A and B are shown apart, each in its own frame.
Chain A
Amino acid sequence: MSRRLRLAVLAVGGTGLAALLVLACLDLPSFGGRWHPYGEAAVRASLDRHTANTVAFVNFDLRAHDTLGEMSILFAAVVGCVVLLRQARDEHREPPQPSDVAPPVRRYALLVLPVALVVGLYVVAHGQLSPGGGFQGGVVAATALHLLYLGADYRALERVRPIGTYEVTDALGTCAYLVVGLAGVLAGTAFLANTLLPYGTFNTLSSGGTVPLLNAAIGMEVTSAVVVLLARFLDQAVEIEEEQGS
């Protein structure tokens, strides 16, 4: 198909799609309206179960099955990346030369690295109270680790990052989520039902029954998943060279 023909097809299809979407939008409940029955029900249920952050409550209690699905997509995407970006037979590793980083930048990176790790853990740990949770905190902690690559060099990062351990942690996080779910079945209720633990005191770290446990499992999985992903990309971008003339 020539480029001009393709653009013409795109224009026709795009106009049709735009018209349909705009029509659909005109029929949606108006922006800022007062009618949110599901939201109100979720807030009531959350307060019943002593979880201060309703969004975390929806993720890890009401819709815990949905989060299980999201988590499997994440896991599958990481496995896919690891398979696609492994070192092929016609490639070899060439250790990169250390980069010359200006001293203030290096000092900043080494100073901020522990702060960012602590903030990441804080965001995970307070997921059921204040904004945050396993998904967000995991990404922050994993990104923080890569300040070593930015501020020092790739070799320093490789020394503190045993990839095998992170791959195992990733799998463990996934298993932990399933185990917490199955514990509900063994206790005689349903899979992922939040009836296992006492709900605790409202607005404390141990409140919310199984919500903090599932949150921690997700935090563990996301952290290791992002570290493994970035490790594969860094390997490809920095270290792995193709054989000449292959």
Chain B
Amino acid sequence: MNAWILAATILLGAGLTAALWGVASGPLSRRMVAQNLTTAVACPSLLLLAQGYHRPSYVDLALLLALLGPVGTLVFARLLADELAVATPAAWGLTWTAAGVSAAVVVAVCAATGPSRAMVKLLVTGVLLIGGNLVASRALQGGFRQVRGG
């Protein structure tokens, strides 16, 4: 067990426990924010694990999660828009914290990798992760104004 895996363990243990607690209780808006937080916690952890196991090919996992995690949140934001309109979740503090953690992890892993093709993949993952996270948070706050059908 090295420092990378230790960091991933702590991030996963704390972040996902919080996300589970949020997603399983409370009003819908809180559950949605917690669901969005899942991506922001799991994706940096996958990057840390890839580095900890010395397997650059595991970065594909983080890339895929950075792409599809926000899509999952958009699904809920879109299909629960009429319920969300009643109570809009506001958690910009959490969103920016998550973005900061993601950026720190990406920078650390990039520094350990050194300039190469693998680093480009890491940077793409980071951009997709942070961008997706911000857009998903925006979508939760009235990103979809529901009309009949749609």
Using CB atoms and an 8 Å cutoff, list the residues of chain A in contact with chain B: 94-102, 104-105, 108-109, 112, 115-116, 119, 123, 130-132, 136, 140, 143-144, 146-147, 149-151, 153-154, 238-239
CB-CB under 8 A for A102 and B74, given A96-B149, A112-B128, A116-B67: no
* Any A CB within 8 A of the CB of B120: no
Identify the stretch in B15-23, B55-63, B108-116 within 8 Å (CB) of chain A at 4 or more residues.
B55-63
For chain B, the count of residues having a C-beta within 8 Å of the partner chain is: 28
Interface string of B62-97 (1 = CB under 8 A from A): 011001101100110010000000000000000000
Q: Which residues of B contact A97 (CB under 8 A)?
A: 147-150
Q: Does B52 interact with chain A (Cβ within 8 Å)? A: no
Looking at the assembled complex, report how far the CB atom of A154 sits from the nearest CB atom of chain B, in whole angstroms. 7
User: Which residues from chain B sit less than 8 Å from chain A, CB to CB?
Assistant: 57-58, 60-61, 63-64, 67-68, 70-71, 74-75, 78, 128, 131-132, 135, 138-139, 142-150
Q: When the two chains form their complex, are residues A96 and B74 in contact, meaning their CB atoms are under 8 A apart?
A: no
Given contacts A143-B71, A151-B74, contact A99 B144 (CB under 8 A): yes
Tell me if A150 and B78 are in contact (CB < 8 A).
yes
Cβ B135 vs Cβ A143 within 8 A: no
Known: A99-B147, A99-B150, A100-B144. A119 touches B67 (CB 8 A): yes
Known: A108-B131, A130-B60, A238-B150. A147 touches B71 (CB 8 A): yes
Closest chain A residue to B57 by CB distance? A130
Q: Which residue of chain A has the shortest Cβ distance to B81 in the bound complex?
A: A99
Q: Could you tell me the distance between the alpha carbons of A8 and B147 in the complex, rounded to whole angstroms?
A: 47
- Contacts A115-B67, A140-B67 known; A150 to B74 CB distance under 8 Å? yes
Query: A52: nearest residue on chain B (CB-CB)?
Result: B57
7 A-B pairs with CB atoms under 8 Å apart are: A96-B150, A99-B147, A100-B145, A108-B131, A123-B64, A131-B58, A150-B75
A153 touches B67 (CB 8 A): no
Whether A105 lies near B67 (C-beta < 8 A) is no
Chain A residues closer than 8 Å to B128, beta-carbon distance: 112, 115
Further 15 A-B residue pairs, CB within 8 A, beyond A104-B143, A112-B71, A119-B64: A94-B149, A95-B149, A96-B149, A97-B148, A100-B144, A102-B139, A102-B143, A105-B143, A112-B128, A123-B64, A131-B60, A132-B60, A136-B64, A143-B71, A149-B78
Q: How far is the CA of A105 from the CA of B57 in the complex (A)?
A: 30
Known A102-B143, A116-B67: A109·B150 in contact at CB below 8 Å: no
Distance between Cα atoms of A119 and B62 in the complex (Å): 12
Residues in B with CB closer than 8 Å to A154 are 150
Partner of A131, one of B57, B78, B146, B150: B57
Q: How far apart sit A158 and B139, CA to CA, in the bound complex (Å)?
A: 23
Check B60–A123 contact: CB distance below 8 A: yes
Q: Which listed residue (B63, B68, B132) contacts A143, Cβ 8 A?
A: B68
Given contacts A97-B148, A102-B138, contact A112 B58 (CB under 8 A): no
A102 proximity list for chain B (CB < 8 A): 138-139, 142-144
B137 nearest CB across to chain A (Å): 10
Residues of A contacting B131 in the complex (Cβ-Cβ under 8 angstroms): 108
A119 to B121, CA, bound (A): 11
Note all chain B residues with C-beta closer than 8 A to A94.
149
Most buried by B among A100, A147, A149, A239: A100
